[in-house]
């Protein structure tokens, strides 16, 4: 279920790839090759590869954090939840301002290329008009913004592909030989300048909350964008350097257009100019989308005023978008944005280093609910490299870049202590490290991460449907039972069916209820424990029509505990060595039970099969009734093993004449059988189509 205070999940894999790629292929290709050639000479193409090195560990780490915590706000949210609200405020305000500056810089890039054909362009007026236009696009929602971004990127990549294809055969190697020797220090200093070419890859982290299947689509989209950027920058800069003489190139602000003019005349020059305008437009569009999520996230956490967390029609953060556009206009009118945007690269490098540190903090906190779908490799060596390399590049960028970064840090510290500190009670994961050392920890973070687990849902390897299908169901009827009575029943069945110690299970279930670790939702309680000597999760389902007395939970909750009975108890066991899967399975049960119609459907269920089907995920199971004369009638009389089911489909239960049958391959299907089939959603849909159930 989508929550009203959450952004809609509307961005697919290609949208993410388009945002990452479109935010990256801009100034690095269309403005900076001339500057890079002046500094690195014939090493220019390789310098683009070197420029990516200090950022790659940070990109890996950011994807780990984004798949663990897919929330609006990107770096702000990661730093806040890992190292606390002070560091989060510094990162949030700083990155928000930097992303806004980069968006303005991109908008001004449109004017630089248009000036090739239209002289005396009123640059500030044009930039303001474009900012308003892209702000209006963003007010239509992330899906429409993503579609617009995708169209821009498809056209852009098509033109750049053409440019590289006709340029490679025309490269003159003498341009590289004639460039002369360049000192290694100059190459690395130039690489530090070119780092800005890749920073757009991380903009997608700030829209992680709006991504469908973030554990797959976020890292895959960003890594595909990184590969695309590396190839285009290396090949494209090789073409530009190999076609345009160095003396001309080093003073050229539109090097790609100059190279295209040499390769294909005025038509090529016009085409690359169109590509440049599309590239800068895509950066600005993605920049507003990304930047607007920072005030939204900081407003949710009381760092900025509450008005910016308000979602309008279709759950669009209109106020946060408007604030970002207004800030862009202010920067256009008051600042020399081109100079400031270059200085801002140092702060973003600092944030890349802090992101790597955040992953170290999250892992060392040992919070079980920290469950990223992607884990950055080579821990902790890659992460330490990701901290040290950006620091070295910042040093190479010089005094003014360092000073600007320190100014943004001071701004964040001032804002936190002056406006935010009194409103904030949360802490970061770093307090869990303190807890291991005998200090304190912040339990609210664990609750928040569990809520995120619930929203992300299960992974493909999680055996949720099979666990429900093989569950033992006990219907208590009209008996008066309390929690302890039901715990005895559950422990007894688990002991007989799976060989567990019934006394230990009973005591562990009691401790779960008394210790407050048995979630109670919609008159259903979920006591759960983990055992060291089991490999697979198990569950016992208690279904009650009369209600079960839960006063035992007052030992934890006190006199304020609601004494109303529960109508279901789901006793769940999980393996000790797989805590995160256990939490994901528990989160899925919680998500199911929390549905508004759950209790009515639960109480109306009469049979063991119906009770289990209440808990199964709609898109992953199908109830199939075999009737003569219907499409399903073709199955009657067949052995189950003879039926050609889709790959993942499994007939988990058969209800026949009031009895529940656990099927096997030789089970012969009969008329009026009711089959419960579980499997991947695409295979369930295939069965529906096959038997005309859609």
State whether 599 and 540 are in the same domain.
yes
Give the pLDDT score at 435: 64
CATH of residue 464 = 3.40.930.10
Structure tokens at 282: 């895509």
Mean pLDDT computed over every residue of the chain = 89
The pairing of beta strand 674-678 with beta strand 621-625: antiparallel
Q: How far apart are CA 374 and CA 219, in angstroms?
A: 7
Give the pLDDT score at 294: 95
Average the pLDDT over each of 155-159, 246-250, 258-262 and give the range with the smallest value: 246-250
State whether 327 and 385 are in the same domain.
yes
Asked if residue 671 is part of any domain, the answer here is yes
Asked if residue 443 is part of any domain, the answer here is no
Among 560, 589, 611, identify where a domain stops: 611
State whether 130 and 227 are in the same domain.
yes
83-113 pLDDT, tens digit each: 999 999 999 999 999 889 888 888 887 877 7
Give the pLDDT score at 693: 83
Asked if residue 43 is part of any domain, the answer here is yes
Among 421, 448, 471, identify where a domain stops: 421
* Mean local confidence (pLDDT), 330-341: 78
* CB of 135 closer than 8 Å to CB of 286: no
Measured CA to CA in angstroms, residue 498 lies from 121, 476, 501, 511, 534 at distances of: 78, 22, 9, 21, 9
637-679 pLDDT, tens digit each: 999 999 999 988 999 999 998 888 889 899 999 999 999 999 9
Give the pLDDT score at 447: 84
CATH of residue 668 = 3.30.70.1450
State whether 217 and 326 are in the same domain.
yes
Cβ-proximal residues to 681 (8 Å cutoff; 6+ apart), any chain: 619, 620
Give the confidence band of 432 by pLDDT, cuts at 50, 70, 90. Answer: low
* CB of 429 closer than 8 Å to CB of 362: yes
What's the number of domains the chain is made of?
3
505-544 pLDDT, tens digit each: 999 999 988 888 888 888 999 999 999 888 899 999 999 9
State whether 403 and 532 are in the same domain.
no
State whether 294 and 260 are in the same domain.
yes
* CB of 92 closer than 8 Å to CB of 80: yes
Q: Which residue has the tokens 């494209």?
A: 236
φ, ψ (nearest 5 deg) of residue 383? -70, -40
- Cα 491 from chain centroid? 39
Give the pLDDT score at 439: 59
354-402 pLDDT, tens digit each: 999 999 999 999 898 999 999 999 999 999 999 998 898 888 777 888 8
Among 611, 627, 646, identify where a domain stops: 611
Q: How far apart are CA 626 and CA 635, in angstroms?
A: 7
Higher confidence at residue 583 or residue 340?
583
CATH of residue 105 = 1.20.1740.10
How open is the CA angle 414-417-419, to the nearest 5 degrees?
90
Asked if residue 437 is part of any domain, the answer here is no
pLDDT of 204 strictly over 80: yes
State whether 600 and 640 are in the same domain.
no
Residue 156 CA neighbour count, 13 Å, CB half: 27
Structure tokens at 166: 């006709």
Average the pLDDT over each of 36-40, 259-263, 560-564 and give the range with the smallest value: 560-564
State whether 391 and 495 are in the same domain.
no
Structure tokens at 663: 């099927």
Give the pLDDT score at 519: 85
DSSP per residue over 605-626, as a string? Answer: --SHHHHHHHHS-GGGEEEEE-
Domain range for 466 is: 457-611
State whether 656 and 569 are in the same domain.
no
Give the confidence band of 263 by pLDDT, cuts at 50, 70, 90. Answer: very high
Give the pLDDT score at 1: 46
Give the confidence band of 433 by pLDDT, cuts at 50, 70, 90. Answer: low
Asked if residue 430 is part of any domain, the answer here is no
Asked if residue 3 is part of any domain, the answer here is no
Residue 573, beta-bridge partner list: 529, 538
* CB of 127 closer than 8 Å to CB of 242: no
* CB of 597 closer than 8 Å to CB of 475: no
Average the pLDDT over each of 84-93, 190-199, 465-474, 490-499 and give the range with the smallest value: 190-199
pLDDT of 197 strictly over 90: no
State whether 562 and 649 are in the same domain.
no
Asked if residue 355 is part of any domain, the answer here is yes
State whether 601 and 663 are in the same domain.
no
Can you give the three-state secondary structure of 101-113, one letter per residue?
HHHHHHHHHHHHH
Asked if residue 389 is part of any domain, the answer here is yes
């Amino acid at each position: 279920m989508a929550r009203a205070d959450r952004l809609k999940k509307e961005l697919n894999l290609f949208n993410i790839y388009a945002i990452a790629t479109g935010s990256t292929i801009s100034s690095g290709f269309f403005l900076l090759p001339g500057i890079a050639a002046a500094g690195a000479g014939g090493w220019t193409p390789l310098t683009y590869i070197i420029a990516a090195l200090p950022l790659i560990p940070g990109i890996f780490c950011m994807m780990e954090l984004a798949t663990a915590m897919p929330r609006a706000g990107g770096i702000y949210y990661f730093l806040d939840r890992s190292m606390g609200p002070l560091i989060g405020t510094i990162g949030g305000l700083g990155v928000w301002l930097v992303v806004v500056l980069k968006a303005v810089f991109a908008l001004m890039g449109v004017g630089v290329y248009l000036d090739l054909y239209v002289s005396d362009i009123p640059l500030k007026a044009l930039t303001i008009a474009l900012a308003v236009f892209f702000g209006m696009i963003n007010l239509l929602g992330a899906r429409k913004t993503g579609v617009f971004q995708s169209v821009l990127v498809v056209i852009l990549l098509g033109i750049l592909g053409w440019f590289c294809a006709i340029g490679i055969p025309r490269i003159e190697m003498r341009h590289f030989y004639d460039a002369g020797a360049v000192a290694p220090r100059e190459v690395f200093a130039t690489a530090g300048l070119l780092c800005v070419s890749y920073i757009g890859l991380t903009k997608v982290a700030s829209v992680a909350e709006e991504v469908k299947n973030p554990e797959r689509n976020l890292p895959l989209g960003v890594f595909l964008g990184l590969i695309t950027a590396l190839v285009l920058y290396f090949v494209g800069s090789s073409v530009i350097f190999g076609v345009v003489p160095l003396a001309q190139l080093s003073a050229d602000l539109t090097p790609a257009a100059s190279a295209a003019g040499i390769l294909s005349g005025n038509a090529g020059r016009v085409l690359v100019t169109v590509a440049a305008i599309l590239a800068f437009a895509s950066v600005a569009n993605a920049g507003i989308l990304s930047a607007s999520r920072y005030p939204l996230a900081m407003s949710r956490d009381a760092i900025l005023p509450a008005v910016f967390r308000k979602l309008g029609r279709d759950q669009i953060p209109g106020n946060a978008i408007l604030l970002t556009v207004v800030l862009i206009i202010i920067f256009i009118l008051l600042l020399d944005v081109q100079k400031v945007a270059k200085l801002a690269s140092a702060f973003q490098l600092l944030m890349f280093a802090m992101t790597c540190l955040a992953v170290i903090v999250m892992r060392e906190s040992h919070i079980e609910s920290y469950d990223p779908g992607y884990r950055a490799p080579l821990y902790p060596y890659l992460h330490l490299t990701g901290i040290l390399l950006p620091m070295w590049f910042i040093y190479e960028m010089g005094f003014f870049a360092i000073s600007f970064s320190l100014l943004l840090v001071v701004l964040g510290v001032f804002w936190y202590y002056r406006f935010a500190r009194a409103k904030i009670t949360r802490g970061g994961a770093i307090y869990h490290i303190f807890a291991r050392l005998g200090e304190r920890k912040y339990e609210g973070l664990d609750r928040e991460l569990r809520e995120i687990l619930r929203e992300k849902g299960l992974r493909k390897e999680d055996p949720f449907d099979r666990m429900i299908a093989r569950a033992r169901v006990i219907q208590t009827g009209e008996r008066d039972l309390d929690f302890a009575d039901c715990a005895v029943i559950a422990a007894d069945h688990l002991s007989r069916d799976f060989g567990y110690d019934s006394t230990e299970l009973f005591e562990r279930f009691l401790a779960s209820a008394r210790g407050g670790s048995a979630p109670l939702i919609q008159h259903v309680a979920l006591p759960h424990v983990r055992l060291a000597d089991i490999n697979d999760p198990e569950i016992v389902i208690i279904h009650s029509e009369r209600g079960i007395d839960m006063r035992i939970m007052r030992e934890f909750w006190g006199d304020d505990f609601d004494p109303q009975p529960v109508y279901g108890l789901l006793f769940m066991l999980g393996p000790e060595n797989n805590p995160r899967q256990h939490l994901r399975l528990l989160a899925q049960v919680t998500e199911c039970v929390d549905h508004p119609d759950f209790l009515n459907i639960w109480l109306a269920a009469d049979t063991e099969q119906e009770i289990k089907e209440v808990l199964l995920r709609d898109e992953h199971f199908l109830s199939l009734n075999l009737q003569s004369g219907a499409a399903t009638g073709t199955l009657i009389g067949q052995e189950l093993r003879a039926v050609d089911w889709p790959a993942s489909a499994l007939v988990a239960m058969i209800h026949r004449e009031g009895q529940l049958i656990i099927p096997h391959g030789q089970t012969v299907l009969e008329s009026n059988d009711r089959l419960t089939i579980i499997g991947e959603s695409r295979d369930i849909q295939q069965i529906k189509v096959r038997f005309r159930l859609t």
